[in-house]
Amino acid sequence: METIDQDIVINENFVILNMEEKTVEGVLSLMAATLFESGYVKDTFKDALLAREEIYPTGLPASCCGVAIPHTDEHHVINPAICIGTIKNPVSFKMMGSPDVSVNVQLVFVLAIKGASNQLNLLQKLMGIFSDESLLSAFKEATSKQQILEHLQKILSLGTN
């Protein structure tokens, strides 16, 4: 198990490779269920995540593939964690700041974070991934959960619990 910042957990259970979902709802529902089944978020998390994504989209165009960083209010979170997913065939997310524009997303980071400053700090670190074409490609092309965790360790300076 790995932790970052304020005991934010990321582990192999929170990495989903080659999702075959075809919609934003399908992708986010699967990722939210993964966090819920592990006891990291409340049963309200999925609906809150979907509702927030509709109002404040998180799709971002990047060099090799689109990325999304969905999150919601901290009162839906029990224990802070990040769920990372790769999507086999791109799913159309609305673009952050321009909801009338679509982004074909293949890499999703669902954030279950407590504290606005922790969320901002984590978002800033994740932006480092999006501006590094080789690292972003490494995430997209990863064939194992361990590879995803190793790439995330590099960018977020994860420490072992």
Which has the closest alpha carbon to 129: 81, 72, 66?
A: 66
Domain boundaries, the chain: 2-160
Instruction: Give tens-digit pLDDT for 21-33.
Output: 999 999 999 999 9
Q: What percent of the chain is predicted at pLDDT more than 90?
A: 64
Which has the closest alpha carbon to 35: 21, 14, 16?
A: 14
DSSP 3-state of 39: coil
Angle, alpha carbons 14-99-65 (nearest 5°): 50
CATH of 2-160, one of 2.170.150.70, 3.40.930.10, 3.30.499.10, 3.30.1330.10: 3.40.930.10
Instruction: Give tens-digit pLDDT for 95-104.
Output: 999 999 999 9
Please state the pTM of the whole predicted model.
0.89
Note if 75 is an active site residue.
no
pLDDT value of position 111: 93
Locate 65 and state its tokens.
Answer: 């593939």
